A and B are shown apart, each in its own frame.
Chain A
């Protein structure tokens, strides 16, 4: 069974702090994704990566960056956290290139920025 692990379930940070959200998958998946989930807006794609050191912007990349130094790990970075980044963040991975395989999600990190 695929396991996608997000390092924190809950985080509380102050405005202006640099925040790191970590995600690790154990199935040698090529693709990894970061989504943000807000009520009434569904899951919005922030960034994705289809290979080590490769990254692509999603629909809402502003205020975020990512890092993929190893195949199994994909980090989301909030350079200077703001209150409008308070949200649930979901990491996901998938097996094949081409976007035609299902995503496997982590349990999510609920981030509160005060």
Chain B
């Protein structure tokens, strides 16, 4: 089955800096790549997603890039703020109703 690896496991940045989280996937048939943010004690919530027919997608300070050839995708957060502190999960799905997640990245934004 699909295997998703996520790096780094922890990331600490200064407020205003950029943060990048990277994921790789194993199954070339995967075609949907969402990113979820989980604040402490809360449910994971979708922040951005990308489909395999698109190379990049941006939503304000958040962007995701996808390299299908290399089978990796990345989350970019610019101008980080303390409220961006959370655990971020990448995921991959190949259209058969199962979604596999990475192990998560704990992002800390220091004021």
- Distance to closest chain B CB from A66 (angstroms): 14
- Taking a contact as CB atoms under 8 Å apart, the answer to whether A48 and B98 are in contact is yes
Interface range on chain B (Cβ under 8 Å from partner):
20 to 34
- Taking a contact as CB atoms under 8 Å apart, the answer to whether A45 and B100 are in contact is yes
- Distance to closest chain A CB from B97 (angstroms): 5
> Across the A-B interface, how many residue pairs have beta carbons closer than 8 Å?
63
Question: Which A residues lie at the B interface, using CB under 8 A?
Answer: 31, 33, 35, 40-45, 48, 50, 56, 58-59, 90, 97-100, 102-103, 105-108
User: Knowing A100-B95, A108-B43 touch, does A40 contact B1 (C-beta < 8 A)?
Assistant: no
Q: How far is the CA of A36 from the CA of B99 in the complex (A)?
A: 13
**B108 in contact (CB, < 8 A):** no
Which B residues touch A50, using CB under 8 A?
A: 97
Which B residues touch A45, using CB under 8 A?
A: 98-100
User: Knowing A45-B100, A59-B1 touch, does A103 contact B43 (C-beta < 8 A)?
Assistant: no
Which A residues touch B102, using CB under 8 A?
A: 42
Q: How far is the CA of A43 from the CA of B104 in the complex (A)?
A: 8
- Taking a contact as CB atoms under 8 Å apart, the answer to whether B98 and A58 are in contact is yes
Which A residues touch B91, using CB under 8 A?
A: 43
> Which of A35, A43, A97 contacts B97 (CB under 8 A)?
A97
- Taking a contact as CB atoms under 8 Å apart, the answer to whether B51 and A102 are in contact is no
Q: List residues 60-110 of chain B with CB under 8 A from any CB of chain A.
A: 89, 91, 93-104
> Which of B31, B94, B97, B101 contacts A48 (CB under 8 A)?
B97
Per-residue interface assignment for chain B, residues 1 to 34, with 1 indicating a CB less than 8 Å from any chain A CB and 0 otherwise: 1000010010000000000000000000001101
